[in-house]
Copies of this chain bind each other. A is one copy, B any other.
Amino acid sequence: MSDFEVDPAFETGSIAVADWPLCHIRLQDDGRFPWLILIPRVAGAVEIEDLEPEDRARLLEEIIRAGELVRPLGGKAGLAVDKLNVAALGNVTAQLHVHVVGRRRDDPLWPDPVWGRPGAFPWPDAMREALLAAARA
């Protein structure tokens, strides 16, 4: 992982949270949704197939862990999410990354996807700190 660097594009709109065994974890600073971004710390990876099989398994474990983190945090109301949205897109920033987003039926964009939609507002400080503490535990 020595040549790995996070694409600077992620610095706009998201906050570094932690490094898990495979992934660098970021919190999307969008108070509409509890939303983590998992970036495997593997230089040059763009698609899931670019990971070695053992790293693919780690990625899945970390996706599930991220889901457990966002599940109790359904937005500023702190209510449980109804559905996880898990996606590796990368049309804008090619570096392999996986979004794990907690969705609620009453969130502002339901049932549409969250990507490329304006209207983000920063997380309330207390909620951001709670999510960061959980992700770093």
> Interface of A with B (CB < 8 Å)?
46-49, 56-57, 60, 63-64, 67-68, 83-92, 94, 103, 110-113, 115-116
Contacts and interface: CB of A to CB of B under 8 A. Distances in A.
Indicate how many identical chains form the complex. 2
Contacts of A110: 91
Contacts of A115: 112-113
Given A48-B63, A49-B67, A83 B90 contact: yes
B85 A85 contact: no
Nearest to A57: B57
A88 B60 CA distance: 12
B48 A60 contact: yes
Given A49-B64, A67-B49, A111 B91 contact: yes
